[in-house]
Structure 1
C-alpha cells in the first residue's frame, strides 16, 4: 500500500471532525492592527530569507545561533545542564559541540518556517525525505492505526509536513501569545490537510479521527507537572512523564512509531526517521508503558542529539526532596 495515495482504506480527513472544534485558520482583519506590525516585518524578513540559497541560510543560522547562545545565558545554562545530565559519558568537547549546534539548529528551524509555510509540494518533497517509510506501510497493511511518537526537536514542522503529504493527520494545536504567529503556524500545518483542533477540544475528537483512519503526532517529552505526570527513567534521570501513550495505543488500536526529523547540513535536506513500531506495547501498566516510551524517546533523540530542544526545562518537576537541577 502506498501511503502517499488516498486509498479506500484511509477515509477523508473530514470524517469524524466537528467544525466547531477545529482551529480556525481563516485570516482575521485584526491581524492588521498596529500591535502586529513588528510581526509582519519579521514575517517579511522570513519570506526574503526563504528565497536565499540553502547554503546562505545555513551560514546565517549558524551565525545567529552563536549570537543567541552567547547572549541568552539563561537558555545556555538550561541547555548545558540538560546535556550534562543526559550525556555524562561524553567528553567535554563533544558536549560543548552539542550545545553550540543546538542553538544553531534552533535558529535554522525558525528560518525554515519559510519553507514549511510557502514551499510547494515539489520543494518540500525534495528537501524533506522519509527514512523508514516501510514501517508506515507495514502498519497500514496490518490495518493498524498509527501514532507517530516524536520529541520536541528542531525538525518537528518538517516531519509533520512530510507525513501530512502522505497520510491524513489529526492533532491538537497549542497556541502561543502572538495570534498572528499562531495563524501562520496553523495555516502551514493545515494547508496539506492536517486536522488541527483547539486546546479546549480535548483528545476525544482526535481519538475519533485516529480510529477513522487518520494518523496523529504525539509529543510526550514535555514536563507537565506532578498532577499529570509520573516519574520514570529518562537518560538516567527521573523525569516527570505523561503516562498517556499506552492508553492511547490501546484505545485507538494503534501502532506507536517513533519518529524524528534531522537536518543534514551536507545535503541541505531533512531526513524524517520513522522507526519500527514499539514492540510489546502497551503493556497495560502505566509505569511500564512510560518506561518503554522514554526508552524510545532516548533512541530517536540519539539519532541527532544536537537537534533536540535542550533549552527546555526537561527536569523541572522533581521527586519529593530532590534538589532543583537548574
Structure 2
C-alpha cells in the first residue's frame, strides 16, 4: 500500500512540475516573456527614430518577434540591435516591412489578425511554430503606448505674404501681409476659412487721372475645401465667400484732380488651391494660389464734381505663409 502511495505521489509531483514551466530564475515562463516584451517595447518607444513607428513586440521562450512597418533597412537593424540588447532576450526574429508608416490607418481601425495588430494578452507571443495568430482571435492594445506625436492639428494660426495681379488695367498690384488660419487637413470635403487680404493700387481714376490711392481689401470668408492628405503633405481646392471690410490708403503727399477719397465695404468670394507641408510637429508652410472677386464702390473727387462708381478689384492672388498649430 505504501509503495502505491509513493508512486502516486511521484506522478502528482511530475504532473505539477509539467503544468507550470519556469525560467531559470524561478519565474513562470509566460510571466518572464511578458516582462521581456515590456522591456523591449519600452526601449523601442524611447528610441529617437523608432519611437513613433508602429512596431509590435511578441516574445516566446525568450525569442523576440518584431512586426510592423519601418522607413528603411537602417530602422530594421536598429530595432533588432536594440531588442537584442534587452535583458532576457535570447534571439530576435524580424518580420518588419519597409514602407510609409504615416500612410497606415490608426491601430484601432486595423482588422483583427492584421500583421500590424498589437500583440496578444500579456505581450507573450501567440506564434506557434511558423503559424500566425488565428484571424478573429481577440487582440489587446500594445504593451506600451506610442509617444505623443505633437498637437492634434485642429487649428493653426500664422501670417502670410501676398502678391496680387489685378485684372483691370487701371489698377496695380502690391504686396500685402495678413493673417493665416489653417484648419486640420483632411481627405475629402471639409470646412475652410480664409482671410485673403490684399492691397490694390488705383493707378488711373475717371478721365484718366491718377487715383493717388490704394484699396485695401480685408475679406473674412468661409466655405468648403476638398483635400487629399499624404503624410506631412496636403493639397486642396476650396471655394469661400464672405464680407470684405475695405479701406482706402490715400497718397497725401501728392495732389491731383479726380483722386479717390473713399471706398465702401463689399462682398467677396474666391476659388483657389492650397499646398500645405508640416515641417515640424507644430509648424507648417502654406502656399496658395487663387482669384479674388470683389467690386467695391469707390468715390472720386475733383474741383468740379464728386462721383461714385464700382471698381473691379478682382485679382490673381499668390501667397506664402507660415502657421503654428496652437492645438
Name the TM tier (shorter chain).
under 0.3
- Structure having the higher Rg: 2
Select the structure that is richer in strand. Answer: 2
> Could you tell me the TM-score, scaled by structure 2's length?
0.19
- Greater RCO between the two (CA within 8 Å, min separation 6)? 1
